Amino acid sequence: MRVLIVNGPNLNLLGERQPEIYGAQSFEEFLQELREKFRGIQIAYYQSNVEGELINALHAARLNQDAVILNAGGYTHTSVALGDAVAAISIPVVEVHISNILAREEFRHKSFISQHAAGIISGFGLIGYELALNYLERRPNGRQ
Ligand code: CA2
């Protein structure tokens, strides 16, 4: 199975700032651990701070990936276009957030992704990506 992890704006700064919210580990370091834990999954990774590039990555994923794990960062709460891109691809997209977006400011409670996602994982730190891979690995025949 091939899974693409897509991280949106500012998530390239993980491990550098705000460790009380987002943890102290860089995503690259965490990614190595994920690849060791999930040897049966080919895990590709893409990060961009640019909305259109994230949309292009989702479009490309529909041709060469089996699933996507998406943390759209702040665009989660603002981007109709990213929500449309998730709706437009038929492979499952798991929405992940490091922090619990429902326990934070009200503007973070709205997600343009959720209604098109296979499911949502929020508030478990980087472990959320691991939970998403766990789900995708066990998901029978592309269904819940
Ligand atoms: O909790 C999440 O994963 C978020 O998607 C992260 C976004 C935020 O806008 C969402 O509401 C929830 C922000 C990502 C910022 O990442 C940083 C990482 C390290 C240092 C500073 C920012």
CA 2 to chain centre: 14
Render pLDDT for 109-141 as a digit per residue (tens, 0 to 9): 999 999 999 999 999 999 999 999 999 999 976
Among protein residues, the one with the nearest Cα to ligand 1's atom 7 is: 73
pTM comes to: 0.96
Fold of 2-138: Rossmann fold (3.40.50)
User: From ligand 1's centre to the CA of 111, what distance in Å?
Assistant: 14
Q: In the predicted model, what is the mean pLDDT of the chain?
A: 95
45: left (phi over 0), alpha (psi -120 to 50) or beta: beta
pLDDT in tens, 22-32: 888 999 999 99
What does the alpha-carbon distance between residue 83 and residue 80 come to, in Å, rounded to a whole number? 5
CB 61 within 8 A of CB 89: yes
Average pLDDT over residues 80-87: 98
Q: Which residues participate in catalysis according to the annotation?
A: 22, 97
For the chain, the domains span 2-138
What's the pLDDT score for residue 114? 98
In angstroms, what is the span from residue 31 Cα to ligand 1's centroid?
17
Q: 79 CA distance to ligand 1 centroid (A)?
A: 15
On the 0-12 / 13-18 / 19+ scale of CB atoms within 10 A, 104 is middle
Provide the pLDDT confidence category of residue 142 given band limits of 50, 70 and 90.
Answer: low
| Residue to probe by mutation, ligand 1, list 99, 107, 122, most atoms within 8 Å of CB | 99
